[in-house]
Amino acid sequence: MAQRVAAASLLLLFFLPAKSHAATSEWVTSAGGAIRLVAAQPEADGTIPAILEVKLKPGWKTYWRDPGASGIPPQIKIDPSSGVALQAINFPAPKTFGEGAGRYVGYDTPVTFPLTLKRTRDDGDLAIRASVFLGICEDICIPVQGELNLVLKKGEFDNPLDGARIADAVAALPQAPSSDFKVATASFDAEDGAIRLRLQLPPETKADEPDLFLAGPSGMSFGKPAFGAKTGVQRTADIPVRFSGKDKSIKGKPIALTVRAGGRSMETTLAFD
């Protein structure tokens, strides 16, 4: 399905929710779904377990960290006066949609993004104010912008349902590499302009798997992976690398790789000398 991003000046939706409740913000709604922020009490080291929930109506989609040729990945900014800093947005394994120039990466069912938050103030309540910007798409892509607010009162108990939502979202993230699911070897062929991988896959991997998703720094994008023949639990893959700026080097640039196979997902970081 070809995707086109509508002009933000025409289709940008901006919503201000009502006052927040405890550790859950109000839902911010749009034509294709809704978003909200959920957070738990800070842990001893100052880490704040939190998630961004995205509801999607049937037929609508949203994007992964690297959406492909077009699309808007989730972006979150925390007001520094909140006493909280955003360190990372974490992503469950996505899906690929479309072909050729219309190929993109994202989600077609409700999705939850675990957030890595850290308190920057030692004491007192935390009134978190987060500005969120993402794309929710059907036939066209609508940029959705909203302000999410919630208050974490010092000493207040967490809502068990909120804690369960956060725990479930973290459990759904890709695993770290393991002995039966990892990148066995990785290299970059500068002449062919491709990353070459040899993957160790779970024993239960099906013939039409795996799915690969890569995300690199600005100015770098990736083509459709080409897989070699399966040899036992190992599989090779060549992924074209494209550069849009003057810098054509891949040296020292971290590339996030997510692999889905055998009902599992794994994530690691590639780096090339």
Instruction: Write down which residue in 115, 145, 171 finishes a domain.
Output: 171
Q: What whole-number distance in Å separates Cα of residue 238 and Cα of residue 81?
A: 46
pLDDT of 14 strictly over 50: no
SS3 category, 163: helix
Q: Is 176 within a domain?
A: no
pLDDT one-digit tens code per residue, 1-13 = 444 444 333 334 3
Domain count, the chain: 2
- Domain of residue 43 covers 8-171
Last residue of a domain, which of 132, 147, 171? 171
- The residue among 123, 143, 171 that closes a domain is 171
Question: What is the Cα 7 distance to its own chain's centre?
Answer: 24
Residue 222's pLDDT is 92
139-154 per-position pLDDT tens digit: 888 888 999 999 998 8
Q: Specify whether 150 is located in the same domain as 200.
A: no
* Same domain membership, residue 206 and residue 257: yes
The string of pLDDT tens digits covering residues 196-223 is 999 999 999 887 779 999 999 988 999 9
The reply to whether 138 and 257 lie within a common domain is: no
Q: What is the distance, to the nearest Å, from the Cα of residue 34 to the centroid of all Cα atoms in its chain? A: 17
Q: Tell me, what CATH number does 56's domain have? A: 2.60.40.1250
- For residue 49, the model assigns a pLDDT of 94
Q: Are residues 46 and 92 both part of a single domain?
A: yes
In a domain, 229, yes or no: yes
Of 157, 94, 83, 93, whose CA–CA distance to 120 is shortest?
Answer: 83
